[in-house]
Copies of this chain bind each other. A is one copy, B any other.
Amino acid sequence: MTHAKPSIAVLGGTGHEGAGLAARWARAGYRVVIGSRDAARAAEAAGELARASGGDVTGASNAEAAAAGEIVVIAVPYAAQRALAREVRSEIEGKILIDVTVPLMPPKVARVQLPEGGSAVEALQRELGEGVRVVSAFQNVAAHQLSTLDEPVNCDVLVAGDDVDARETVCQLAKAIGITAWHAGPLANSAAAEALTSVLIAINKRYKVANGAGIRITGIPGQP
């Protein structure tokens, strides 16, 4: 029996951003497996997400989740990103890997501090090699926006990647959960989204935004 919709593994799916994406995709009818360093914790969180979303969410270790998902998402803190990618490298060969990582450097998370050499995701692609179809997306969507499942998300998504077909798949996955997504160019262009998150955090502080500021792209013919 085949499914028309790909299964999605969300590594770091017990965190706020990962859990929010997992719940939205589960509600939209995707089979979701969330991964965590602690498989028992993943299973417990998966139960909660399944109840909240009314969808199909299971939990596993990160490596098991990566093996199970046809599409794999990394949604962990920056400090954990590269080690996790190395850990699951053999499980993600040939797959689309959606990297949600923002290179925040606590405590100054409202200050842009991009890594030397460009964006965090380019360093990830170099680490993994050409056999993984790395796409950058979702950096600017506040976790709070994702977690309120009955509310629309107030933020467009910039989708950057060197593999245009993979990018289109990720745009469709965003649209499937009601988020407007844009082809934002090559993987290098992820620097804009990665940097923008610190700007949005600065705006949240300055303007007392409780639910998370976001962005919209304007000026597209036929769009409101």
Contacts and interface: CB of A to CB of B under 8 A. Distances in A.
Contacts of A114: 114, 118, 191
A154 interface: yes
A217 B220 contact: no
B208 A218 contact: no
A112 B189 contact: yes
A116 interface: yes
A209 B215 contact: no
B112 A192 contact: yes
A203 interface: yes
Interface string A108-135: 0011111010110000000000000000
Given A219-B154, A220-B213, A189 B202 contact: yes
A18 B167 CA distance: 35
* Size range of the chain A interface in the assembly: 35 or more
A88 interface: no
Interface string A85-121: 0000000000000000000000000111110101100
B191 A203 contact: no
B209 A220 contact: yes
Interface of A: 110-114, 116, 118-119, 142, 145, 154-155, 158, 160, 182-186, 188-193, 195-196, 198-200, 202-203, 206-221
12 contacts: A112-B190, A113-B188, A114-B118, A155-B219, A158-B199, A184-B202, A189-B198, A189-B199, A200-B217, A209-B219, A211-B219, A214-B218
